[in-house]
Structure 1
Amino acid sequence: DATKFFIVLPDGIGHGKSSKPSDGLHAKFPHYGYIDMVEAQYRLLTEGLGVNHARLVMGTSMGGMHTWLGGELHPDFMDVLMPLASLPTQISGRNRVWRRMIIDAIRNDPAWEGGEYKTQPPSLRTAAEILWFMSSNPALRQNEAPTLAKADEALDKFVSGYVKTADANDVLYALEASHDYDPGPNLEKISAPLLAINSADDLINPPELGILEREIKRVPKGRAIVIPFSDKTRGHGSHTIAALWKDELVKLLKETEK
């Protein structure tokens, strides 16, 4: 309820208007991890804005992973937690491999020039292509691109838009930042009620792995929901379609009113 609570939407380190490699240091920018990002946001709230408690900590995708970590690192800071499109486990399996594909493509690209390129290296296009591949579901992509020509057109349109604003060093650092993400060993430390929401067609966090169902049992006040596949879901991108999960958020806040 924006009429009752302040909503803070920070840009994490390395993203948006926050400090990042493309601001000038390029590959000399300090390497950061997810824990750095979570702690920076915590200090922004507590030291910068004077906030000593949050009604809700919520995030999607990388922000969902930050939500898991925040619940462990600062368990008394929030009333409730709601991570979306994430898993409470170290980056591994296919989720690690697609990240490595982009990381390796950039670092091994001669045009990257150790991070001191004057124009964006071709590997940024490779990064965009892999992100397009992983971010939706097969049914939606088939519907969007039902022929060879339409598939090429859809991919080219996404890539051309992505490379206009993205930066190879920023992408590289952002993907390497997940190296220290591993909430698994400390899930029992999360004391606030937590509702995790994923979608059945998420290629990055596929439910068939059973990780969410297994690990949520270790969160003292945790529960998990997997949104069924439908014509309204968008694979990993389902996390930004509020209509799919807003009722669960309303329910969570009502259940935890004080």
Structure 2
Amino acid sequence: MKLFIVLWSAILINLSGYAQAKFPTGTESDYAIKNFKFETGDVLPQLNIHYTTLGQPIKDKNGTVTNAILIMHGTTGNGRGFLSNLFAGNLFNPGQLLDAAKYYIILPDAVGHGKSSKPSNGLRMKFPAYTYDDMVAANYRLLTEHLGVNHLRLVLGTSMGAMQAWVWGYTYPDFMDALMPLASLPVEIAGRNRMVRKMAIDLIKMDPEWKQGEYTAQPKIGLTGAISSLIFMTSSPFQMQKGSPTKSKTDSSLVLLEQRYFTSLDANDFIYQFDASRDYNPAPYLSKIKAPLFAINSADDQVNPPELQLMEKHIGSVKRGRYILLPISDKTTGHGTHSNPTIWGSYLQELLALTAKE
């Protein structure tokens, strides 16, 4: 989630040791999808999908795009969040695994996020109640109708984007060569995960200043409660103790973190973003996934705790699936480990080699 891009980026860049700031910044643009129909049946006359691209598409003699890579962000984030020293600086530079001179990299803002259409654009709580399936469908149309991409070399996602990677795998099983979901589980959102999401939503709605979504200023009390839920779930106890070893340091760090959240979050957008997972459940469809899939989680991820053993239970249903659990180390940062390719890059290299075509 976006929290770790904000909180731990400086720490992680130091840990990586060789992050480079030479990667291209990419080109931003928009695609307006007319009369987009959501799973609810609601139709939006125009759904705007904002995106960033790096590199250029390459086609083979049959007209199939061979070098397109789709990378999807987490809840409350946006595509340009990947253009950091930590992520892009260790992947997109010349000679690196996802060299932007070699690959056509597509970084969309999901429905309800970034500069794509979202409740805060004006519809507020009248905006269609979108799902992850709607996000995937919108991105598919962006690729095929607008960008001319008819095949993906790789689908990679972090957190919410990782969950969408599973959906991509079984919805469009012939569309990609490889899948890498980072920090996710291919099961229904339930248990503590669902409770925390619902509590965060309820805390906003219980604030009288929310006003059924018609507020003129952000409902700060409710939003503060929602942020507390985020911090608890996505943080790393080890890294938080390391970064804030005293009471005064902890209190000042919390104030800074909350301030950063308040400048980037909208209460209605937040409600929609956290409710979008309500119908997510790839488990019944995993056997439809054809492409090799490497699912990577971190042992200190409180959103997807390994002790639940849910991945072990379901990964066998993916014909060419593999589960990698990263052990806790001084470099892992809980859920935010998904944004540090210096930790999991070797597995990406292996997956790319495994799916390379002669």
- TM-score of the alignment, normalized to the shorter chain, above 0.5: yes
What is the distance in 1 between the residues matched to 2:253 and 2:232? Answer: 11
Matches within 5 A, 1:165-176: 165-176=264-275
Corresponding residue for 2:18? none
Higher RCO structure (Cα 8 Å, ≥6 apart):
1
Task: Please give the secondary structure, in 2, of the residue aligned with 1:13.
Answer: coil
Task: Please give the secondary structure, in 1, of the residue aligned with 2:153.
Answer: strand
Letter in 1 for 2:271: L
What is the distance in 1 between the residues matched to 2:264 and 2:167? Answer: 29
Corresponding residue for 1:141? 240
Task: Give CA deviations for 1:18-49 in whole Å, capped at 9, x if unaligned.
Answer: 00011111111111011100111111101111
What is the distance in 1 between the residues matched to 2:254 and 2:231? Answer: 7
Q: Does 1:9 align with 2:118?
A: no
Task: Please give the secondary structure, in 2, of the residue aligned with 1:111.
Answer: helix
Letter in 2 for 1:225: I
Matches within 5 A, 1:213-232: 213-232=312-331
Corresponding residue for 1:157? 256
Structure 2 length-normalised TM = 0.71
What is the distance in 1 between the residues matched to 2:100 and 2:354? Answer: 18
What is the distance in 1 between the residues matched to 2:230 and 2:254? Answer: 10
Identity %: 56
What is the distance in 1 between the residues matched to 2:181 and 2:175? Answer: 16
Higher helix share: 1
Alignment gaps of 5+ in structure 1: none
Matches within 5 A, 1:1-258: 1-122=99-220, 123-258=222-357
C-alpha root-mean-square deviation of aligned residues, in Å?
A: 0.9
- Any conservation in 2 of the 1:88–1:183 contact (CA below 8 Å)? yes
Task: Give CA deviations for 1:39-74 in whole Å, capped at 9, x if unaligned.
Answer: 111111011111110000010000000000010100
Q: CA deviation at 1:109?
A: 1.4
Letter in 1 for 2:256: K
**Deviation larger for 59-68 or 134-143:** 134-143
What is the distance in 2 between the residues matched to 1:76 and 1:22? Answer: 36
**Deviation larger for 224-233 or 136-145:** 136-145
Q: CA deviation at 1:156?
A: 1.3
**Deviation larger for 78-87 or 153-162:** 153-162
- Structure 1 stretches (4+) deviating beyond 6 angstroms? none
What is the distance in 2 between the residues matched to 1:172 and 1:210? Answer: 29
- Any conservation in 2 of the 1:89–1:182 contact (CA below 8 Å)? yes
What is the distance in 1 between the residues matched to 2:264 and 2:294? Answer: 34
Higher strand share: 2
Q: CA deviation at 1:146?
A: 2.1
Task: Give CA deviations for 1:179-235 in whole Å, capped at 9, x if unaligned.
Answer: 110001110000111000000000000111101111111100000101110000000
What is the distance in 2 between the residues matched to 1:25 and 1:206? Answer: 36
Task: Please give the secondary structure, in 1, of the residue aligned with 2:215.
Answer: coil
- Any conservation in 2 of the 1:132–1:158 contact (CA below 8 Å)? no
Q: CA deviation at 1:241?
A: 0.7
Task: Please give the secondary structure, in 2, of the residue aligned with 1:8.
Answer: strand
Corresponding residue for 2:12? none
Task: Please give the secondary structure, in 1, of the residue aligned with 2:100.
Answer: coil
Q: CA deviation at 1:149?
A: 2.6
Q: CA deviation at 1:131?
A: 1.3
Task: Please give the secondary structure, in 2, of the residue aligned with 1:120.
Answer: coil
Task: Please give the secondary structure, in 1, of the residue aligned with 2:154.
Answer: strand
